[in-house]
Amino acid sequence: MNEMIGENGWRIKKIGDISSINPDSLSMSTPSNLVIKYIDIESVKPGKILAYTDFEFKNAPSRARRIVKAGDIIVSTVRPYLRAFAYVTNEYDNCICSTGFVVLRTYEEYSANYLYQYVLSEQFMGQVLPLMVGSNYPAINNKDVTNITIHIPKSKKEQQKIAEILTTVDNNIGKTEVLIEKYKNIKQGMMQDLLTKGIDEHGNIRSEETHEFKDSPIGRIPTTWDDCLISDYISFQKSGLSRKISHEDIGVPVLTSSNIDNNSKLDVKELKYWYESDPQGANIADYVLEKGDILLCFINSIEQMGKLCIFDDIGRPCIYTTNLFRIKASTNTTPKFLYYLLLSHYVQNEIRVITKPAINQASFTKQDFAKTKVPLISVEEQAKIVEALDSANAKIETEIIHLNKLTLLKQGLMQDLLIGKVRVPLEEATG
């Protein structure tokens, strides 16, 4: 059988030609108790492993044991968790994978890290998706995994060099993600302090050692503060338009809870739409958002309750759907301070209390929400609090921008290096 050669002189192999699948496997039984070190998960199913590299397995049933060696690649085969991969960097003799995963072990003449980078690529995913079978949980079978093709240089040293370049970017991405989480935690702690203790005239967060505090219905607060209702900070609150909105651009964009990301920011990469002239007679102008409006999710799954963002101009008039409250700040505050206040533990905890679960979705009412108690803070001190939190946000945003650049760099490098479009300088590499 003649070997397939690509235009660049690289070999085109099947994954089954360069690796064994599920080696040393006695069973594919789901483990009864599986723990990943540093991750609080007792049972790992597809989608739970996301490129973590340090595993600790406990109380594994003997029938499910297999040896997983350093360099093995664990790949999810079940949709929608196809991007669940793990590259094992240590060797264990009690490692288990539940059904929904396969283990690939490269043969000696091939680089395991190169194969790992390849299964992370769009080239790999482009071959996997057409092979999915099943309705509820589409999956690719093991035989089809082995038949997926891979472009690979003849020289193992070139394979390793390519993998090293991509791994370096991965490491930088990982470090940036850790830094973002660190800054988020710092900001969360700062928000807790600022919205319970405030800032004194010297720009310092107050403490009970240096300032006077008092008991209140919302806990211990500075004596210069009082408590009030969240409604005292709100001049307008109204839910959006209830329509079966379209994926096609038929008139005006409609924001939904999916347009609020996990960082409480507005995300308009994917929009839905409704007619500029409502067929049911509603005045669309009544729902057009203005810069500074706050969108708060109050009907959805329990996990979505309390999600919020500040609306900013997206370049065209925009309305919002019925599961969001549109909120405007009153004259005794600013949209930015109200935004931070709505993110505070005062409000988020109360939302969890007043949310009423249902079969299809949870919700809370405008009337119950209005009774939420929060601190009453002077406009001058509000401005100081906003300035401090904006500064913390700026650090996070800087790192997020850096992360996005690294992610795009990785994608570009994978497209070029994993098909040989760009070759790495290597004297021993012969193609």
Q: Are residues 148 and 247 in the same domain?
A: no
Per-residue model confidence (pLDDT) at position 281: 95
Residue 289 lies in a domain: yes
pLDDT class for 47, splitting at 50, 70, 90?
very low
- Range with the poorest average pLDDT among 53-62, 254-263, 343-352, 370-379: 53-62
Q: Are residues 117 and 230 in the same domain?
A: no
- Range with the poorest average pLDDT among 90-99, 297-306, 362-371: 90-99
Q: Are residues 232 and 147 in the same domain?
A: no
| Nearest of 393, 411, 383 to residue 265 by alpha carbon | 393
Question: In the predicted model, is pLDDT for residue 49 greater than 80?
Answer: no
Residue 189 lies in a domain: no
Per-residue model confidence (pLDDT) at position 340: 97
In the chain, pLDDT over 90 holds for what percent of residues? 64
DSSP 113: H
Among 376, 394, 416, give the residue marking a domain's end. 376
Residue 179 lies in a domain: no
| Cβ-based burial of 209 (10 A; exposed 0-12, middle 13-18, buried ≥19) | exposed
Question: In the predicted model, is pLDDT for residue 424 greater than 70?
Answer: yes
Per-residue model confidence (pLDDT) at position 133: 84
Q: Are residues 44 and 141 in the same domain?
A: yes
**Structure token digits, residue 191:** 């928000």
Q: Are residues 248 and 142 in the same domain?
A: no
Q: Are residues 234 and 358 in the same domain?
A: yes
pLDDT, tens only, 158-194: 999 999 999 999 889 989 999 999 999 999 999 999 9
In this structure, the number of other CB atoms found within 10 A of the CB of residue 101 comes to 22
Q: Are residues 92 and 234 in the same domain?
A: no
pTM (2 decimals)? Answer: 0.78
User: 162 or 1, which is more confident?
Assistant: 162
Strands 252-255 and 319-320: parallel
Domain that holds residue 274: 226-376
Q: What is the mean pLDDT of the chain?
A: 85
| Nearest of 123, 88, 112, 90 to residue 160 by alpha carbon | 112
Q: Using an 8 Å Cβ cutoff, are 345 and 192 in contact? A: yes
pLDDT, tens only, 134-151: 877 788 888 888 899 999
Strands 226-229 and 234-239: unpaired
Q: Are residues 235 and 148 in the same domain?
A: no
pLDDT, tens only, 277-334: 999 999 999 999 999 999 999 999 998 999 999 999 999 999 999 999 999 999 999 9
Q: Are residues 136 and 256 in the same domain?
A: no
pLDDT, tens only, 209-239: 999 999 999 999 999 999 999 999 999 999 9
Residue 160 lies in a domain: no
Alpha carbon 124 to chain centroid distance? 22
Q: Are residues 134 and 260 in the same domain?
A: no
Q: Supply the CATH number for residue 237's domain.
A: 3.90.220.20
Among 152, 180, 210, give the residue marking a domain's end. 152
Among 376, 400, 421, give the residue marking a domain's end. 376
Q: How many domains does the chain have?
A: 2
Per-residue model confidence (pLDDT) at position 7: 65
| Nearest of 356, 365, 288, 367 to residue 328 by alpha carbon | 288
